[in-house]
Amino acid sequence: MHKRLSLYFALLLAFPLFITAQTVMSPELLWQLGRVSLDAVSPDGKQVLYGVTHYDIGENKGSRALYVMDLETQTPNLLLDVPSSLSGGQYFPDGKRIGFLMDGQFYSVATNGADLQQHTDIAGGIFAAKVMGSKDGLRLLFGKKVKAFENTADKYPGLPKANAFVIDDLMYRHWDHWSDEFVNHLCIATLPLMGMTSAYTDLNEGEPYHTPQVPFGGSADYDFHNNKVVYSSKKLTGKDYATSTNTEVYLHDLTSATVTNLSEGLPGYDQHPVFSPDGKFVAWNSMATPGFESDVNDIILYDLKTKKRYHVLKELGRYKDLTFNNVQWGKDAKTLYASVPIDGTVQLVKISIRQFNSKGFNATLTFETEGQYNFGSFGLAGNQLIAERQDMNNATELFLVDGISKSGTQLTNVNTGIYQRIGKSKIEKRMVPTSDGKEMLTWVIYPPDFDATKKYPALLYCQGGPQSQVSQFYSFRWNFQLMAAAGYIVVAPNRRGLPGFGEEWNAAISGDWGGQPMRDYLAAIDHVAAEPFVDENSLGAVGASYGGYSVYLLAGIHENRFKALISHCGLFNMDSWYGTTEELFFANHDIGGPYWETPLPKAYTEYNPIKYVDQWTAPILVIHGGKDFRVPENQGMEAFQAAQLRNIPSKFLYFPEEGHWVLKPQNGLIWHHEFFSWLDGWLK
């Protein structure tokens, strides 16, 4: 096996073009795809700036080039392609230059790619930069790491070769990194058009809190208008930080040097604030329930003059079950745009606001997009939208949404040539009856050459999150097109606990991880397995995170349905998981609290996968990352050890340098090779 794998990679590196002759999607071809992402639309709405990331398997890394497209001619022009990866592309307020981050500093070029200039030379580098115009000229807002705590070297200066952490509080590690003496601070600098600056003002000076937040915070965490900055931050530390989602929205007045909490009294997540174009309002996302990271995302409108807060969902009548993301203002203070998960897709909506008064306001909501697609990041180009769009057969490209074609008109064709040479999967939307008399949207993905007179093995896909919709996403690891191309029918149910089907459906999983969601999974696979073209003796179940937990639990309760299982970074032992995970607000809300509670939450008894190991029968592949601190590596090790000691055919795939996800190209190829080798060995 090892010799074959070495030859496999040698051929891949030596002949990268050989794989283009494939007629269906393959792991190697998947890594050839360009990954398109929208950066910005020009202020006049005539150009769009976007990036394309390509990965070099031999170098084991990716690089991102920036492109500009004139929307009238729809012709892409390469703006900049350098060995360093470029991020945070944006137009200057006058639209004449384009700024971006490179090697931890802020640069800009003219819109034709000429006149490259470096604007900052700030020690330690910066991140998440955003250029803004004001009456005092151009300003640059950015994140910077600053030292806030003493480290071991400070405490023991005479022991320079020691390697140790002294820990006396929680959140000592987070997702994929150990906490250290540094925190993120939001900073501001005057941006020179010529030359570089190393001077800046730390807006969070002296604070021991992260702004932008970690690990996923960025430029969406703050905004600027004239001499006012609005930002979101969870100003808590230690155990308080680990057990709370109470992120607040703050207004920092640069003129008066005052800071005001705009979201005071709102106990959940309040994030991603943005000023209205006239500076009179601030809008942000808000979750009402403390500790619930997947609660419905409302939109709060804050009137800076009257200091009154308005809840958008309260004014939308029949749309009260929606949850909003990526909120943006239109050209005036009377229109908002956002993305919403709905019925297994992600669509864009427009909210028109009228007649503010003491009781509320009048608002109407219209869907700007439709179809079996996921619309992602977007920007405004006059009365049109430029948006990312993907589906289960196509990676992200940019589309123009103009109100006429609600599915959009394709602008970029980065991967069109590859997709034209391969067979596509048939994507079917089914409504499957559940055990409690409801209907569950389930995607069924068929092989490109599907023949209903034949029999196929089938895979039950178990979604992670746990509250993360099974939508028309195009993953570069859990890729349904790739699974179908390998000859499998994929069954992907939107089981209980997912957004896009109403607040009740989304919240139903909390405290019931091993209950109705498991019955939903079995209902979906039983429904599809009853088809004459499915080999009911060749069924598998696969999933990651909560999906990996689902696989472990199903392993003990599936009653011999499955002949192969794969769990990636799954929760296996709920007692030890609670004692080693980091964001305890998630565990406290979703599984009911710690294992010493009285009465004991079901998560530690009948919903705990370790309680059913004696009933395991199916071969299982366990995958885990060494830097996964959300679901630590001991979970995978315990599961593999249990399978081995019970003489269950099993394998442990371990990535010491990966976290909850597999991000490095060569690791990704090994992941797919082992994934399909395991399934093929047991199901074909």
Q: Which residues are catalytic?
A: 545, 628, 660
| b/e burial code for range 330-341 (CB count within 10 A of at least 16 → b) | beebbbbbbbbb
In DSSP terms, which residues pair with 188 in a beta bridge? 141, 201
In terms of DSSP H, where are the helices of 425-573?
480-485, 503-507, 516-529, 546-557
What φ, ψ does residue 533 adopt, rounded to 5°? -90, 5
Whole-angstrom Cα distance, residue 521 to residue 384?
Answer: 40
Instruction: Kindly give, in sequence order, each residue whose CB lies less than 8 Å from that of residue 568, ignoring residues fewer than 6 positions away.
Output: 542, 543, 544, 545, 547, 548, 623, 624
In DSSP terms, which residues pair with 105 in a beta bridge? 102
Q: Beta-carbon neighbour count of residue 612 at 10 Å?
A: 17
Contact by Cβ (8 Å): 31, 76: no
Whole-angstrom Cα distance, residue 624 to residue 459?
Answer: 20
Q: What is the largest CA-CA distance in the chain?
A: 76
Q: Which helix (H) or strand (E) holds 8?
A: helix 2-14
Whole-angstrom Cα distance, residue 246 to residue 68?
Answer: 39
Whole-angstrom Cα distance, residue 632 to residue 655?
Answer: 12
3-state SS of 28-67 is HHHHHCCEEEEEEECCCCCEEEEEEEEEECCCCEEEEEEE
Edge-first strand listing for the sheet containing 137-147: 127-134, 137-147, 182-190, 201-202
Whole-angstrom Cα distance, residue 310 to residue 58?
Answer: 53
Cα–Cα distances in Å, from 514 out to 410, 553, 554, 571?
A: 42, 7, 9, 12
Q: Which of 673, 681, 625 is nearest to 649 (CA)?
A: 681
Contact by Cβ (8 Å): 539, 457: yes
Q: Which of 329, 406, 385 is nearest to 71 (CA)?
A: 385
Whole-angstrom Cα distance, residue 591 to residue 466?
Answer: 11
Cα–Cα distances in Å, from 673 out to 260, 398, 419, 475, 566?
A: 53, 31, 22, 16, 13
Whole-angstrom Cα distance, residue 641 to residue 12?
Answer: 34
Q: What single letter denotes the amino acid at residue 314?
A: K
Q: Which helix (H) or strand (E) holds 244?
A: none
